[in-house]
Amino acid sequence: MTISLPLVAAIFLISLILTMVGLGGGLIFSPLFVLLGFAKVDAASASLFLNLIAAASAAYTYSRKKMVDFTLAVPLIVSSSLAAPVGSYINSRIELKYFLIVMAVVLAFASLRMLMSPGNNDEAVPIPPMRKIVGGGVIGAGIGLLGGFLGIGGGVFVVPLLIYVLKTPTKIAAASSTFIVCFSSLTGFMGYASMGQVDWRFILPAAVASFAGGQAGARIMSSRLKGKTIRTIFSVVLLVLCVKLLHRALFGL
C-alpha cells in the first residue's frame, strides 16, 4: 500500500486528537485502513505500530511534564497483560454477539456520563499508594479481560475507570493512559511482526506523521486543555467505539 499526502494528514490529525485523551489512534486507524483497501492483517499490524508510535511520543512528553502516574500505571500494565489471554479464551467459549451489544450500551452510558459531568476534576487529590497499586491492579485485570475478549485495545476503558473509580484527575488519567497503551500496542504488534505480517514500506513513513501528531496532541493537552474539554472529546471517542461494537455485533464485521 502506498502512502499519500491526504493519508499522512489524516494520520497526523488522528494521532493528535486521540493522544490528547490518552489513546494512540488505533481505534480509528484499523477501520480506516480496511476501508482504504488494506488486508485485515496488514491493517491491524499497521494500526498497532502507529498506535505505539503516537502513544510513546505523547507519553514521553507527558512524563517530562510529570503527568504520568507510574505508581498507578505499572500495576495496571502487569495485571492487564496477565488477564488478556484469559479474555481471549473466554471469547472462544461463549456467544459474542450479545456481549457486544451490552458493552456498546455500557459505553454509551459512559459517554453520556462524561458529557454531563459537572465537575472539572483537574485538581490533584492525594491517593494513598496502596490504593493506587490495588486499584490499578483490579482495573487492569478488568481491562485485560475486556480487551482480550473483544479483540480491541483496552486503552479506551482506562481513562473513564481511572477518573470515576480512583478519582484520578482527568489530565493525569489521560497522560498515564498513553504510557499504558504503549505496552498493549507493542505486544500486539510483536505478534504480527513475528509472523512477518508487516508492510514496512508503508508504516515507517506513516510513523513520522503519527509521532508528530502524538507530540502535538500531548503539548496541546498539557498546556491548553481543561479536564472538561478532555472528557468531552473522550465521550465522542466512546460513542465511535459504541457504534463499532454494534456494527460488529449485528453484521459480524
Interval 7-60: pLDDT, tens: 999 999 999 998 998 888 877 888 888 778 888 788 888 888 999 999 999 999
pTM summary value: 0.82
pLDDT grade for 219, boundaries at 50, 70 and 90? very high
What are 34's three cell numbers?
480496511
What are 91's three cell numbers?
471469547
Amino acid at 204: L
Query: DSSP E strands: which ranges in the chain?
Result: none
Please identify which residue in the block is written with the cell numbers 489512534. Answer: 25
User: Nearest-CA neighbor of 131 among 157, 165, 154, 155?
Assistant: 165
- Report the alpha-carbon distance of residue 136 to residue 75 in Å, rounded: 6
Which range marks the domain in which residue 35 is found? 5-251
- Report the alpha-carbon distance of residue 117 to residue 110 in Å, rounded: 10
Count up the domains in the chain and report the number: 1
